[in-house]
Amino acid sequence: MENIIIDTDERIRYITINRPEQLNALNVETIAELSEAFQLSDEDQDIRAIILTGSGEKAFIAGADIKEFADFTIGQGKELSARGHETLFNLVANLQTPVIAAINGYALGGGLELAMSCHIRIASDRAKLGLPEVSLGVIPGYGGTQRLAELVGKGRAMEIILTAGMISAEEAHQMGLVNHVTFPSGLMSRAEEIARQICKNSPRAIGLAIKAVNAGLMNKSRGYQKESKPLEKRLAQRILRKVPLHFWKSARLHLQETN
Ligand code: CAA
């Protein structure tokens, strides 16, 4: 695996996204590697908890890899979104082995969506979280509109999504988006403490409990379908193809000029 690091200590599996120079952005290869790593971890009877984090001090995951998107055709964009949803985001949410997101820095767009797919979230007090998609002319496409509303309620979710701003770890904690906030140096030990507590419990009962919690949210499936409507994907392609590499400011500017 070229984009992730996998370690195991006792019964805890550590999966670290290792693209610090790209702020751990999710490109196609990384999504595929993560998918495989999560599946293998879930199948391994010796693994009782998984901790997901990003390498470096700056980012957990700064979203989908926009540089890669820029060269995609409409078809490839749609395919990436649909495949990513099924092979990674939904996969993680439905694993029988609990996944703890240790959010060590920026968790933006697809990065926050992946953190929200995890079962538990812990953030360093330096972390910044947000769903900036609408500032790029798209909507969160990896379950973000649904999972954010589930976690923080409709009103707060609307504000975060519609303003496309970033919130601090402390704000995220106050609204229930993250379970705990720690000093950066204490992030992994807090995640490990929770993982070790999980390891003491029945893995079968834990798997069933995750299924039961998720089953209660299943009637939201129409929302997930709406989120992946082709129209938004088309728009994403139309805009992102035109965005130069310093996409962030440029994309906003582009939107202001074209809308
Ligand atoms: N994709 C690809 N590369 C990224 C990236 C991303 N999402 N985010 C950051 N990078 C790269 C930058 O291009 C830069 O690389 P180079 O040095 O080679 O140019 C490097 O990471 C460092 O980034 P910055 O210089 O921008 O760092 P900063 O400290 O000035 O800003 C930041 C940090 C605020 C997180 C800024 O990088 C940023 O806004 N990134 C984009 C975040 C974003 O829009 N994410 C959502 C993408 S859309 C999505 O995820 C949903 C979807 O499916 C469409």
Q: What is the pLDDT of residue 229?
A: 61
Question: Exposed/middle/buried for 183, CB within 10 Å: 0-12, 13-18, 19+?
Answer: exposed
List the single range of 97-111, 188-202, 208-222, 224-238 with lowest mean pLDDT.
224-238
In sequence order, which residues have a C-beta less than 8 Å from that of residue 210 and are 6 or more positions away? 94, 95, 96, 98, 119
Q: The pTM is what? A: 0.91
Confidence of residue 178 (pLDDT cuts 50, 70, 90): very high
Proportion of the chain above pLDDT 70, given as a percent: 85
| CA proximity to 35, closest of 80, 72, 90, 77 | 90
pLDDT of residue 230: 46
Cα 218 to ligand 1 centre (Å): 32
Confidence tier at 245 by pLDDT (50, 70, 90): very low
Residue 117: its pLDDT value, please?
98
- Sign of the dihedral through C-alpha 32, 202, 147, 122: negative
In this structure, which amino acid lies at residue 158? M
Mean pLDDT score, 189-215: 97
Q: How confident is the model at residue 138 (pLDDT cuts 50, 70, 90)?
A: confident
Within a 13 Å sphere around the CA of 52, how many CA atoms are in the beta-carbon half? 30
Q: How far is CA 57 from CA 12, 105, 162, 188, 209, in A?
A: 22, 7, 28, 13, 34
| Average pLDDT over every residue of 173-202 | 98
Q: How many CB atoms lie within 10 A of CB 221?
A: 10
The sign of the CA dihedral 167, 138, 111, 176 is positive
69-90 confidence digits (pLDDT tens): 777 777 777 788 888 889 999 9
Whole-number Cα distances in Å, 9 to 15, 35, 58, 193, 196: 12, 20, 25, 13, 11
Phi, psi for residue 108 in degrees, rounded to 5: -120, 150
Q: Using alpha carbons only, what angle is made at residue 256 by residues 74 and 26, rounded to the nearest 5 degrees? A: 45
For the cut 80, the answer to whether the pLDDT of residue 241 exceeds it is no
Average pLDDT of span 126-155: 95
Known catalytic membership, residue 43? no
- Nearest alpha carbon, ligand 1 atom 16: 22
Looking at per-residue pLDDT, the higher value among 114 and 229 belongs to: 114
DSSP state at residue 26 = B
Contacts of 127 (CB under 8 A, 6+ apart): 60, 103, 104, 105, 106, 107, 168, 169, 172, 178
> In the prediction, which pLDDT does 188 show?
98
Q: How far is the CA of 170 from the centre of ligand 1 (A)?
A: 22
Q: How far apart are the first and last CA of the chain?
A: 42
Strands 99-103, 49-54: pairing kind: parallel
Q: What is the DSSP string of 43-74?
A: H-TT--EEEEEESSSSEEE-SB-HHHHTT--H
Residue 133 a catalytic site member: yes
Residue 50 has pLDDT above 70, yes or no: yes
User: Which of 33, 68, 86, 133 is flagged as catalytic?
Assistant: 133
What pLDDT was estimated at residue 251?
A: 53
Confidence of residue 137 (pLDDT cuts 50, 70, 90): confident
Burial status of residue 2 (CB atoms within 10 A of its CB: 0-12, 13-18, 19 or more): exposed
Q: Is residue 96 scored above 90 in pLDDT?
A: yes
pLDDT in tens, 152-169: 999 999 999 999 999 999
Pocket lining for ligand 1, CB < 6 angstroms:
22-23, 25, 62-67, 106, 108-110, 132-133, 136, 138, 141-142, 236, 248
45-49, 138-142, 206-210, 239-243: which has the minimum mean pLDDT? Answer: 239-243
Mean pLDDT along residues 140-151: 94
* Ligand 1 atom nearest 106 alpha carbon: 35
